[in-house]
Structure 1
Amino acid sequence: MANVTVIGAQWGDEGKGKIVDWLAERADVVVRFQGGHNAGHTLVVGNQTYKLSLLPSGIVRGTLSVIGNGVVLDPWHFRDEVAKLAGQGVTITPDNLHIAENCPLILPFHRDLDGLREDASEFKIGTTRRGIGPAYEDKVGRRAIRVCDLAHLDDLDPQIDRLCAHHDALRAGFDQPPIDRVRLKNDLAEIAPHILPYAKPVWHSLGEARRAGKRILFEGAQGMLLDVDHGTYPFVTSSNTVAGTASSGSGLGPGGVGFVLGIVKAYTTRVGSGPFPTEQDNEIGEFLGTRGHEFGVVTGRKRRCGWFDAVLVRQSAAVSGITGIALTKLDILDGLEEIKICVGYTLDGRHYDYLPPHAADQARVEPIYESVEGWSETTAGARSWAQLPAQAIKYIRRIEELIQCPVTLVSTSPQRDDTILVRDPFED
């Protein structure tokens, strides 16, 4: 049986939560492999709605859930999210939730620095101010405090020296006092018992699961266009969001990634700053945002909305090696007489079939649109091709042609069962 890696193929917010939940029911293990609690996944299970930002989506079904080493973990948020889900009746124990021992921690001064930078700069990246970027900086700077360090707090002073040497200088530039070392150590001692019971060598347990033939589902956060290398830099997140990160971010190895399922909205949205060639700052954008309830799960920020961009999704599919896509929110387009698809760009008289890498060029490209006929019937709740209007099927088929990647499944509402399965990723 194939493992499955689920990634967003646009700028995030594509509806990964529902798809992961739908797949998690048949998975034996669900793994988060990058990002932090800047992710936002909404799961609708029966009459209950769960909003997750750090925990793997499998946890609400009792599936073994793993937070890999590629994630940066805010231990206080972890404690609170576990408590919130427990209040909704979800059982969470060290038996069904594991955290990589080598997972770096997000600390209070990371959150401080994130907010200070956003407030001070005229060049707004649009971060969630949750300390994700600064925590990744400390990881690659080899000064991070990790989960395993919580079991060795008495030996932490040399690492704190390195952190303070770096951060105190940055804080001074913002007229902020130095890090309170005593408070930091006390805070870590207070939170350690909430984290350490979950700490495991997840690379080892995932290897055992793979050898036993168990189905492993890798759950990505954000979207490919926010990848720190391949996204719309510098308006990106601070981790690699492409499918290959499932390997480095979990310790399983590149052969374990399996079927790569890219999640794609039937239109395009983006939260925060950065280029967005097909953005519709008009009645169409308002229609999509209102009908699609386009507000960020984590921040509540209103999402920018626009037409489907086949150029960007084709680029995402190529870079991430996407095997098939899950097309979500098709029902939001119901009732539109005309639907547009971006099939290329022009810039200074030159035609592009990809998004150029420089931010200034990305901001100036002009989309080339192809118009397709809409449909008046509803697609909401459809669970088979036969229940879809003919024009909706034509729209899906045209998207497949343009992105050079097949549709694996179609989602027609937030309800998990309102899904049309074309090809089972776990059986591939």
Structure 2
Amino acid sequence: MSAGARVLVISGPMGAGKTTLAQGLVDRHGALRVSTRELLLARLGERGGDRRSLQEAGAALDRETDGRWVADSVKEFLGRQQGPPRPLIVDSVRIASQIEALRRALGAQVMHVHVSAPAQELEARYERRRSHAVSDPERASFGEARADTTERGVEGLAEIADLVLDTQRHSAEAVTVQAACLFGLFGRDVERLVDVLVGGQYGSEGKGQIAAFLAPEYDVLVRVGGPNAGHRVYEELGHYTFHQLPSGTRAASRARVVLGPGSTLSLRVLHQEIADCRLEPGRLFIDPHALVIEPSDVTFEEESLRKQIASTARGVGAATARKVLRTAAEPPVRLAKDLKELGPFLRPTREVLEDAYARGGRVLVEGTQGAGLSLHHGDYPYVTSRDTTASGCLAEAGIAPGRVRKTLLVCRTYPIRVQNPDEGNGTSGPMAGELSWEEIARRSGLPLDELRTQERTSTTNRQRRVSEFDWVLLRKAASLNAPTDVVLTFLDYLSASNRSARRFAQLTPEAHRFIEGIERVAQAPVSLLSMGWGFRHILDRRLW
């Protein structure tokens, strides 16, 4: 027998919804289903027959084995299963001795659900099925079928069931949810399995590289936000910039990849990344409520927001505004569920995450932009169109705060903001202690040409502005996000010699003092350090 297999036994009268419940557990939770009819036919071999003959053969087996034949058959069925154990649904049992034998054979692994409905409702359902059963012209009427001795006693099984459900009062989905919870298919408690990675400044803190570094430790990778944020990941043979998918998609090839309900989708960008990463349905899941950006959204932002606040003009804000307007929006809002081309990838994020929680799987949520660009907490109107804090990212993904284990706040040694190519410095918002790239080159010893080449935005390819480290912003970001850990990037901008560090002790004294200050103001340890552009330039100081 497959070790650890759990068995849910269903009982109930004709028309009560036993098979509907069993199929619901198969479809939603990937359970195995076996019918006692199949088990009986397997035991009878060539001696099968019509419904009445099978009922008589089953009754004879019950008398001969005192109901043990079902338990024996289930054990044989489980013994043939390969791979990790899956929940087994037995549809259905008809007498108490069958259930008792299953409990003796499998112990606490067996749970019993009894479904029923008022007699009038059962008869109506039975007759509807009977009128469509052209392949079974000898099917008995409801009264004749109920006259069977075993059938008359089925309702008595409610007295020994772990859960009794009225399928007239509860929808099929509600019945499935209650049975699944009894069976522990959603997990037995609320484990803290989610880690959140967010920016602490104005974006471009290097979140993508850190997310890719951490990704192999997780079972599910979730990204929220939209294509207005580009996360560059350096790989062994170059780099790749993600605008829609989680940055660890290529680094963690076995992890499930999820775009949450708060995501905004550029179909062109999304399809390109799906092709580049060779994602198939079953690995990528897009929430049906994710928002689709229309060409008119991009046009609107290019004609207004690009010049006014240095927007990336990818249509995210305009699309989000239409979603808020709901039916008053023009053009009408389209969600992922409205596009046939996305159909194979559609699944509610909540379901993907619930499956992960039930297995004890770990989840990494990757936010975009940074706390200084939050719609609610940034320097309005020089902000993005969403809340970029950990709380905002969790809400967009549909994750409860009680699920969170770690919150990682990513900061860089010299914050940056985008520079508007049309209006000059300053139009993308205020920065404290603005510097030049010439000054950064002088302080660090890094080549100026390299800095200017690398410090262009991933989405719009604009030159970035740069400033002194903003300690006030760090304290604000720490207050908004309550990080358990800080990730500090671009330590090579303090000194080029930090690029060669392979241990914490090899960093410069200035870097050590800087890290000490970060930990004091953020009230959290600096657990990860990045010293350069390459994929090997990360120091891991985590204690978890």
Q: Distance in 2 between matches of 1:67 and 1:209?
A: 15
Query: Is 1:58 aligned with 2:254?
Result: no
Equivalent residue number for residue 29 of structure 1:
220
> Which string of whole-angstrom CA distances, capped at 9 and with x for unpartnered residues, describes residues 96-136 of structure 1?
211111111101111111112237x6xx1111111011011
Equivalent residue number for residue 330 of structure 1:
491
Equivalent residue number for residue 138 of structure 1:
322
**In the alignment, residue 298 of structure 2 is paired with which amino acid?**
R
Per-residue deviation at 1:49?
1.2
SS state at 1:57 partner: coil
SS state at 1:60 partner: coil
Query: Is 1:14 aligned with 2:205?
Result: yes
Query: Is 1:125 aligned with 2:309?
Result: yes
Q: Distance in 2 between matches of 1:79 and 1:199?
A: 14
Higher helix share: 2
Higher relative contact order (CA 8 A, sep 6+): 1
Q: Distance in 1 between matches of 2:472 and 2:460?
A: 28
Check conservation: 2:494, 2:511, Cα contact below 8 A: no
- Please report the TM-score for the alignment, with normalisation by the length of structure 2: 0.58
Q: 1:256 to 1:11 in 2, by over 3 A?
A: same
SS state at 2:378 partner: coil
Q: 1:282 to 1:66 in 2, by over 3 A?
A: closer
Check conservation: 2:494, 2:510, Cα contact below 8 A: no
SS state at 2:292 partner: coil
Q: Kindly report which structure 2 residues correspond to 1:338-357, keeping only aligned pairs within 5 A, or say none.
A: none
SS state at 1:258 partner: strand
Out of 220, 229, 239, which is 1:49 matched to? 239
Q: 1:91 to 1:327 in 2, by over 3 A?
A: same
Q: Distance in 2 between matches of 1:131 and 1:285?
A: 33
Check conservation: 1:68, 1:100, Cα contact below 8 A: yes
Per-residue deviation at 1:286?
6.4
Query: Is 1:280 aligned with 2:464?
Result: no
Check conservation: 2:440, 2:493, Cα contact below 8 A: no
Q: Kindly report which structure 2 residues correspond to 1:52-201, keeping only aligned pairs within 5 A, or say none.
A: 52-61=242-251, 62=253, 63-83=255-275, 85=276, 90-118=277-305, 124-143=308-327, 144-150=333-339, 192-193=340-341, 195-201=342-348
In structure 1, stretches of 5+ residues that fail to align are 151-191, 336-377
SS state at 1:127 partner: coil
In structure 2, stretches of 5+ residues that fail to align are 1-191, 328-332, 420-427
Q: Distance in 1 between matches of 2:239 and 2:459?
A: 14
Q: Distance in 1 between matches of 2:232 and 2:481?
A: 24
Query: Is 1:249 aligned with 2:438?
Result: no
Check conservation: 2:200, 2:409, Cα contact below 8 A: yes
Per-residue deviation at 1:386?
2.1
Check conservation: 2:203, 2:417, Cα contact below 8 A: yes
SS state at 2:274 partner: helix
More divergent stretch after superposition (271-280 vs 412-421): 412-421
Equivalent residue number for residue 307 of structure 1:
468
Q: 1:282 to 1:202 in 2, by over 3 A?
A: closer
Equivalent residue number for residue 87 of structure 2:
none
**In the alignment, residue 224 of structure 1 is paired with which amino acid?**
A
| Number of matched pairs | 332
Q: Distance in 2 between matches of 1:212 and 1:7?
A: 26
- Please report the TM-score for the alignment, with normalisation by the length of structure 1: 0.74
Check conservation: 1:5, 1:259, Cα contact below 8 A: yes
Equivalent residue number for residue 353 of structure 1:
none
Per-residue deviation at 1:291?
5.0
Out of 397, 420, 428, which is 2:539 matched to? 420
Check conservation: 1:101, 1:146, Cα contact below 8 A: yes
**In the alignment, residue 296 of structure 1 is paired with which amino acid?**
T
Q: 1:381 to 1:4 in 2, by over 3 A?
A: farther
> Which string of whole-angstrom CA distances, capped at 9 and with x for unpartnered residues, describes residues 254-295 of structure 1?
222331101100111111411111211473156577554211
Q: Distance in 1 between matches of 2:305 and 2:379?
A: 18
**In the alignment, residue 511 of structure 2 is paired with which amino acid?**
A
SS state at 2:462 partner: coil
**In the alignment, residue 385 of structure 1 is paired with which amino acid?**
F
**In the alignment, residue 305 of structure 2 is paired with which amino acid?**
E
Q: Distance in 1 between matches of 2:430 and 2:512?
A: 30
Check conservation: 1:72, 1:105, Cα contact below 8 A: yes
RMSD after superposition: 1.9
Q: 1:215 to 1:106 in 2, by over 3 A?
A: same
Q: 1:47 to 1:76 in 2, by over 3 A?
A: closer
Check conservation: 1:260, 1:323, Cα contact below 8 A: yes
**In the alignment, residue 222 of structure 2 is paired with which amino acid?**
V
> Which string of whole-angstrom CA distances, capped at 9 and with x for unpartnered residues, describes residues 70-113 of structure 1?
11111222112323x2xxxx321112211111111101111111
More divergent stretch after superposition (312-321 vs 57-66): 57-66
Per-residue deviation at 1:54?
1.0
Q: 1:69 to 1:268 in 2, by over 3 A?
A: same
Per-residue deviation at 1:410?
1.0
More divergent stretch after superposition (235-244 vs 273-282): 273-282
**In the alignment, residue 68 of structure 1 is paired with which amino acid?**
G
